[in-house]
Amino acid sequence: MDKGTGQITLAYFNQKSTVDYIGVVQGIPVCFDAKECASDTFPIQNIHEHQIEFMSDFEKQGGITFIIADFVMRNETYYIPYSDVMRFWKRARDGGRKSFTYEEINKEFKIRSHNGIMVHYIEMLQKDLDVRDSYGK
């Protein structure tokens, strides 16, 4: 802070952040990170290890985690379920492809605007819950 003017002249983060959103949606603990991709290939390095660890811990405690990925060139946004995020992450960690492609994501999880809400992920959250329930039966 500049002592003469009282203005902030330098600012930085002193610790890693977790994810973009942590909260409760319709009674469900939820956390997600929003990412932007300029091409059809999304580098896994854009999802940091501390975020993966946080999301894994959150899931273990009964929460729902996911990534919202905006494919800018296509003007399309997708909900990437935790199971897919982990599949892509583990593949990269184990020496495989270090990215995932637009072709690999589940197109059933496309997020559409709804009633003026640009990123209406609630419908995809419900779809994710339905898929998880079907595996549990």
Asked whether residue 20 is marked as a ligand-binding residue, the answer is: yes
Q: For residue 112, name the pLDDT band (cuts at 50, 70, 90).
A: confident
Identify the three-state secondary structure at position 131: helix
3-state secondary structure 85-110: HHHHHHHHHCCCCCEEEHHHCCHHHE
For residue 81, what are the contacts with CB-CB under 8 A and spacing of at least 6?
Answer: 66, 106, 109, 128, 131
φ, ψ of residue 68 to 5 degrees: the values are -105, 115
Asked whether residue 77 is marked as a ligand-binding residue, the answer is: no
Asked whether residue 61 is marked as a ligand-binding residue, the answer is: no
Domain ranges for the chain, please list them. 21-136
Question: Does residue 60 register a pLDDT over 80?
Answer: yes
pLDDT tens digit sequence for 21-41: 999 998 999 999 999 999 999
For residue 25, what are the contacts with CB-CB under 8 A and spacing of at least 6?
Answer: 122, 125
Give the C-alpha separation, 126 to 128, whole Å.
5
Asked whether residue 18 is marked as a ligand-binding residue, the answer is: yes
Query: What whole-number percentage of the chain has pLDDT above 90?
Result: 73
pLDDT of residue 91: 97
Query: What whole-number percentage of the chain has pLDDT above 70?
Result: 82
pLDDT of residue 11: 47
Assigned fold of 21-136: Trna Endonuclease; Chain: A, domain 1 (3.40.1350)
- What is this structure's pTM? 0.82
pLDDT of residue 16: 61
